[in-house]
Amino acid sequence: MPKITILPHAQLCPSGKTIEVEEGKSLCEAMVENAVEIEHACEMSCACTTCHVVVRQGFNTLNESSDDEEDLLDAAWGLEATSRLSCQVKLGSEDITIEIPKYTINHARENH
């Protein structure tokens, strides 16, 4: 089973975390199920950028991003070449390391 190393994030994962999950699970689901409360305002339907992560190691082992994901990522805060929407990442057999950006764009939260 692949391991996900989550680098420290001040609010969501202050100490960082390493979790082990089964292949084929979405990265976002894996984090939520393991008490990393990453935002997913669109309920993991590839309709927002709140679950944006930057893959620091293992990017090339992941499934390819769709055109819809690429279009959404263009609007993500802190976009990098290895950025992905965690709801669209299906975990393979290789370990990965991710970083959750400091900020996210959540129009639903900002309008309340």
In the structure, what pLDDT confidence band is assigned to residue 109 with cuts at 50, 70 and 90? very low
CA distance 38 to 18: 15
Q: In the chain, where do the E strands start and end?
A: 3-6, 17-20, 52-57, 83-85, 96-99
7-53 pLDDT, tens per residue?
999 888 899 999 999 999 999 999 999 999 898 899 899 999 999 99
Query: pTM (2 decimals)?
Result: 0.89
- Check residue 102 and give its pLDDT: 86
Amino acid at 70: E
Mean pLDDT over each residue of the chain, to the nearest integer: 90
In the structure, what pLDDT confidence band is assigned to residue 105 with cuts at 50, 70 and 90? low
Domain segments of the chain as ranges: 3-110
* Residues paired with residue 88 on neighbouring β-strands, in sequence order: none
Question: Which of 1-5, 10-14, 100-104, 106-110 is predicted least confidently?
Answer: 106-110
CA distance 2 to 24: 10
For domain 3-110, give the fold: Ubiquitin-like (UB roll) (3.10.20)
In the structure, what pLDDT confidence band is assigned to residue 99 with cuts at 50, 70 and 90? very high
